[in-house]
Structure 1
């Protein structure tokens, strides 16, 4: 029989301070971690408040770093970024604020570069299938459909 590890309030608080200091976290991730540590709801509330007061936990900061990282590294579009943040229970205000951090010029520039590369990399002779692969690739990554369809019609002829 395995006994589950129990934590005192102080031990759990220290553990979560390190957890949040290592990487930006959202409230949902922290609550999930505490739940997995078998903490009671009252203790979870106390620890989350403590982390917010000491600025270990900040949803606005989390949203901005999440958007910046996923846009620059994974080349996600704004729709996918907003969807992923909603999944993490981030408020609409913080989502919109984070998305405005991406300039329109940079956004369109990244999309155009990515579209050029993708159009040349698709090895398909049938034009309709090639367009479908192109469109599916960008829609899955959350790019706006009007951008995707316009670019597909422009590049794939």
Structure 2
């Protein structure tokens, strides 16, 4: 319970931690059931906190967040529900700010090369192609 009180955890994270401590599978199921019952583990609360933190602090794109949640075995429905609540305009604005900072440090011989490098950077952040082009268009408007 101490782990759960420090930060949000999902079921798969807790299962992994318990397996590292060499707890048997039957006990793991009982422990996780008790933690869910006592509301120490709540998948929806975890997903909301995870999405918020990755967007605001680590500046991840939606695709990268989705993939990380799939790896943690979060249900597709819950992922879609929480992702759909993201304000797209604010998201694009935030990405545009990051991209503007990045453009200052990109060395390129042409505008085309600079745009390609910026698109690759955004892709590495987990930004979809559609959103990356919106960001590119947004940056061009600001110049």
- Scaled by the length of structure 2, the TM-score of the pair is 0.88
Give the equivalent residue in structure 1 for 2:71. Answer: 87
CA distance in 2, matches of 1:153, 1:52: 45
Matched position secondary structure for 1:70: helix
User: How many residues are matched?
Assistant: 140
Superposed displacement of residue 61, structure 1 = 0.5
- Residues 96 and 139, structure 2, Cα contact 8 Å, conserved in 1: no
| Larger Rg belongs to | 1
Matched, 1:76 2:60: yes
Give the equivalent residue in structure 2 for 1:113. Answer: 97
Superposition CA RMSD, Å:
1.8
Matched, 1:30 2:14: yes
Structure 1 runs, 4 residues or longer, greater than 6 Å off: none
Question: Which 5+ residue runs of structure 1 have no aligned equivalent?
Answer: 1-16
CA distance in 2, matches of 1:70, 1:150: 20
Matched position secondary structure for 1:121: coil
- Structure possessing the higher relative contact order (Cα contacts under 8 Å, 6 or more residues apart): 2
Q: Deviations over 1:85-132 (max 9, x none)?
A: 001000012111221332122112112222222222212224443222
Deviates more, 1:63-72 or 1:96-105: 96-105
CA distance in 1, matches of 2:131, 2:18: 42
